[in-house]
Amino acid sequence: MKKKKEKSFYEKLVISFNKKMKIKINKDKCLGCGMCVSLAPEIFQLDEQGKSSLKANAQIEKNRDSIKQTAENCPASAIEIEE
Ligand code: SF4
């Protein structure tokens, strides 16, 4: 059986640097104020219930800073991000 090659320190660093950001929206908390749509219009939209949701083609990696800013400023703390 072939032994699995251990990843070097630099390979691990690159992998952790490339980790994708995860966004969770708590729709029970969401007030539907639309601030997230104003701050990050490429990422967030309001759904038919008037609650925040992620756009299908959201470019998360390109908009990391505006997503973080949005999560920090959501009046209901309804947006959680994991990096
Ligand atoms: S900013 Fe927060 S409360 Fe307002 S719509 Fe977006 S997720 Fe909902």
Is 54 part of a structural domain of the chain?
yes
Could you give the CA distance from residue 21 to residue 61 in angstroms, rounded to a whole number?
7
Which CATH number goes with the domain that contains 42? 3.30.70.20
CA-nearest residue for atom 8, ligand 1, is 30
Q: Where would I find the beta strands (DSSP E) of the chain?
A: 22-25, 44-46, 52-54, 79-82
13-24 pLDDT per residue, tens: 655 555 688 999
Give Cα 28 to chain centroid, integer Å. Answer: 18
50: CA distance to ligand 1 center in Å? 10
Is 11 part of a structural domain of the chain?
no
Q: Which domain holds residue 34?
A: 22-82
Is 16 part of a structural domain of the chain?
no
pLDDT at 20: 80
Considering only CA atoms, which of 25, 29, 27 is closest in space to residue 70?
25
Could you give the CA distance from residue 28 to residue 6 in angstroms, rounded to a whole number?
44
Ligand 1 nearest atom to the CA of residue 46, by list position: 5
pTM: 0.79
Domain tally, the chain: 1
Is 6 part of a structural domain of the chain?
no
